[in-house]
Amino acid sequence: KFGRYYSEGFWDYADFDLDNTRYILGWGTDMVASNRQTPWFMNQQGYVKDRAKITIIDPRLSATAAKADRWAPIIPGTDSALAVAIAHVILSEGRWNKSFVGNFQDKVNYFIPGSVVPTEIIVEEKPVPVVFEENHTYGVVAWWNLELKDRTPEWAEKITGISAKDIKAIAREFADAGSKAISWVTPGAAMQVRGAYASYAAHALNGLVGSVDAVGGILQGSSAPSGKVPDYKPYLTEDLEKALKNKKIDQRGTKGFPAINKKTGGGVVTSRVAHAMLDKDPYDIKVAIGYWNNFVFSINGSDVWEKAMEQLPFYAHITTHLAEMSMYADIVLPAKMHMFERYGFVKNKQNLQGYLSIQQPLIKPYAEAKTDETEIPFLIAQALAVKGFDGPLRYFQDNFKDPESGKAPTTPEEFDLYAVKYFTKPSWDGSNSEKGDGISSWNELLDKGVWKTKKYKIGKKIDNFATATKKFEFYSETLKKVMIEHAEKNKITVDEAFQYANYTCQGELSFVPHYEEAVRHGDEKTYPFIFTEHRSRLNREGRSQNAPWYYEIKDVDPGDVAGKDVTKINPLDGKKLGLKDGDKIKITSPQGSLESEVKLWEGTRPGIIVKCYGQGHWAFGRVGSEVFGSKPRGGNNNAILFHDYERLSGSNPRHGGLSRVKIEKI
């Protein structure tokens, strides 16, 4: 999201005009396996292949890469180098979209490798200004002068492992598709320690070919209407108002953690919470309530979270089933399963339409299960009211009345239903019929199950981007403004702010897409291999591991083996190490170690070992754990992924090969 926001002012998931695209450049994109639009892409894949080329940039041969026209097995963490090299080719060869970007006034291409664009030239012994007239973009010449002029394919080949020949071919094919080309950025390229600029550089390619908000290109898309969270401020006491002015526990907005989601401290740095708890900085946490989380398993450096939870005095875990986080809880509160036991709604987008789908109970909840976001908070609010703190209960009852009858909720079950009716009301009360489906009642929404928008009107964002210039920014005035605010807030310079955020850029370079060297933990001599991970096509949010079928059909993930938790190693590396399929190994990084089995596989390049995330649970049901509470089934990648941060965005850097590892046969 970082790259999209600081180029076009859009912090959200993108949509894609697959019906009309002619080229997809996927950065770790596995559209048929792990993507929010998986069913749509699986349906469209054959049609897309009939008219478009697909190139997948990924350290491993993913399901989509196996079906693509080209697989580019990049060295993890070097995506920004490849992206700027592609941009270099597009500009130096004059292949940019001149209708969208603009052109030099005299139609001469001054994007000459190794040279800055001159401010003037001599014609008949007189100085003549060199002017680039930009149309719908901002800062393309600055981008060239500050970064791109020296970023040749030959330079990038040494960093990325992708040949200069292939880089040129990718750049030319992408540019030839023009506004019907899509540079599709996913977590693989962005969720790295220095992933912000990889995200920015890869998305900026869409700007160069004019595929932003274009037919066949990448779109902001439509969003189904829903209600907003009511204002809670009238219900606050003086003590609560004072408490809310405290710093956030994840240290967002501080010197080391800009987390600039639209503003300094606007993001979330979930992975930092563990260290903040251990350091008691900015304060000491005594009580915590968690739901939909399993941080002691799911975040890099899982042992750090284990230590943090061990010293927490009181923790309540709300969950559909026991997990590792539950093992540190004083109280476990069972939550209803969203697919079968509760009301709820989901918003998403695909195929140029936004939609809202309703979830409703099909069976009675098991035992004492309650809805995590409504019923349990209502019960807590009732208990607080008995103690004399009635603000939360009044807030719920005043603001979440039944939209149809006007009745205030008096029970947790009523609050659950009324809250869902309240939030979905704009989609079923007929007020947005001109924007989408003509649903006019709650019962009609329950009957139809889905409300969808009309097709997105392509082109309406051009020159109306939510950036400082209203243009697509190759030089981000939007980013500059936010970083100046962040620096002033923390009483440091902007250059110091980037240093604290673990970036190497200084000066004006910080505001254009550029190459940042990958962060690797562990010296190459001791830890000769780069570790990278991927998601399974059997997961959506990583919670399938207690289902027997997950193991029975695990071989649907390329290179994996049914019933096993394997680490994929190139046969050349396997030969050097004396390893064969099925050998037991111990993988160790500076963070920790795990045990796994070998699968020799040519779908990863030499020097890079690959393992699917998800197995290695030690407390995740009778199937997900070998011995519940003590012995894991397989190995947890987060035991060896180094506990680090992407500090500009706040994301958890699970990709980019941040951990070097060594392999020992056991």
3-state secondary structure of 324: helix
For residue 122, is pLDDT > 90? no
Q: Which of 140, 70, 78 is nearest to 104 (CA)?
A: 140
**What's the mean pLDDT in 547-566?**
95
Cα gap 230→241, rounded to integer Å: 17
For residue 534, is pLDDT > 80? yes
Q: Enter the DSSP assignment of 633.
A: B
CB 521 within 8 A of CB 590: yes
69-83 core/surface letters (b: 16 or more CB in 10 A; e: else): eebbbbbbbbbbbbb
Alpha-carbon distances of 46 from 43, 51, 218, 385, rounded to whole Å: 7, 9, 19, 59
How high does pLDDT run on average in the chain?
A: 95
For residue 475, is pLDDT > 90? yes
Q: What is the pLDDT of residues 310-362, one digit of tens each?
A: 999 999 999 998 999 999 999 999 999 988 999 999 999 988 999 999 999 99
Cα gap 140→133, rounded to integer Å: 10
Query: The tokens of 407 are what?
Result: 């009745």
- Encoded amino acid at 558, one letter: P
**What's the mean pLDDT in 618-641?**
94
For residue 262, is pLDDT > 90? no
Show me where the domains of the chain are located: 2-219, 233-246+283-452, 529-665
Query: Architecture of domain 529-665 in CATH?
Result: Beta Barrel (2.40)
For residue 456, is pLDDT > 70? yes
Q: What is the pLDDT of residues 20-73, one digit of tens each?
A: 999 999 999 998 888 777 888 888 888 999 999 999 999 999 999 999 999 999
Cα 514 → chain centroid: 20
CATH, domain range 233-246+283-452: 3.40.50.740
Q: What is the pLDDT of residue 339?
A: 86
Alpha-carbon distances of 41 from 18, 30, 82, rounded to whole Å: 8, 10, 25
Alpha-carbon distances of 431 from 305, 330, 400, 425, rounded to whole Å: 46, 46, 19, 9
Q: What is the pLDDT of residue 125?
A: 85
CB 261 within 8 A of CB 650: yes
Q: What is the pLDDT of residue 292?
A: 87
For residue 540, is pLDDT > 80? no
Q: What's the pLDDT band for 546 if we cut at 50, 70, 90?
A: confident
Q: What is the pLDDT of residue 265?
A: 87
If you search the block for the tokens 């096509």, which residue do you land on?
A: 537
- Encoded amino acid at 176, one letter: D
Query: The tokens of 395 are what?
Result: 């807030």
Phi, psi dihedrals of residue 180, rounded to the nearest 5°: -105, 25
The fourth-level CATH superfamily of domain 2-219 is: Dimethylsulfoxide Reductase, domain 2 (3.40.228.10)
Q: What's the pLDDT band for 542 if we cut at 50, 70, 90?
A: low
Q: What is the pLDDT of residues 189-243, one digit of tens each?
A: 999 999 999 999 999 999 999 999 999 999 999 999 999 999 999 999 999 999 9
**What's the mean pLDDT in 459-466?**
93
For residue 376, is pLDDT > 70? yes
Percent of the chain with pLDDT over 70: 99
Query: The tokens of 27 are what?
Result: 């950065």
Q: What is the pLDDT of residue 541?
A: 67
Cα gap 343→424, rounded to integer Å: 11
Cα gap 86→76, rounded to integer Å: 17
